[in-house]
Amino acid sequence: MRWQRTGLRALVVGLAVTMGLGIAGVAHATVYRVDEFKITEPHFDFGDGRLHDVSGRPTDDGRLDWVMNTPGVWEPTLVGRIWVNNARNECVRVQMMVEYDNGFIQTYTDYGSDFCAPTGQTWFEDVNFSPVADQYVHAVTIKLQSAESSSDPWVTEGQSARFIEP
């Protein structure tokens, strides 16, 4: 009987230690800064909330979160909504232009939020886009692009300011 209690106690303590080590090893993301902004163009918008009935502009700002999951490594994350308003069959998407410390600029397209409006009503798609995690990220600019249909070339409707890493 004594052996069974000791064995059970050892098992419980072992599980508790294992669970504790597992929890202690979990890394947490830290958002160092949030840059809030809107891009408002005729028929195409980026922001958050909903579209204001009178102006047709987003009621809230979208945001660029400067996230650090690993020490020294920036992961810029775009969060918000893109809208097509009163445009038939036109498509919309966002791109993130990332400038690195050496001046090189890489463009990343968010194909997950790329969509075409089937009718002339208001359509939106949520955006949560973080295409890169790199210690050399220096600045980010967001582009809102449109195309007349899914097979037509993309054109830039508007863009954000250039946001420099914190």
Q: What CATH number did the domain enclosing 54 receive?
A: 2.60.40
For residue 122, is it within any domain?
A: yes
Q: Are 63 and 34 in contact (CB under 8 A)?
A: yes
pLDDT in tens, 119-152: 888 899 999 999 999 999 999 999 999 999 888 9
For residue 34, is it within any domain?
A: yes
**Single-letter residue type at 27:** A
pLDDT in tens, 62-84: 999 999 999 999 999 999 999 99
Taking the C-alpha atoms of residue 69 and residue 54, their distance in angstroms, rounded to an integer, is 41
Confidence of residue 27 (pLDDT cuts 50, 70, 90): low
For residue 13, is it within any domain?
A: no
Q: What is the pLDDT of residue 137?
A: 98
For residue 92, is it within any domain?
A: yes
Number of independent structural domains in the chain? 1
Domain that holds residue 74: 28-164
**Single-letter residue type at 71:** P
| pTM, rounded to two decimals | 0.81
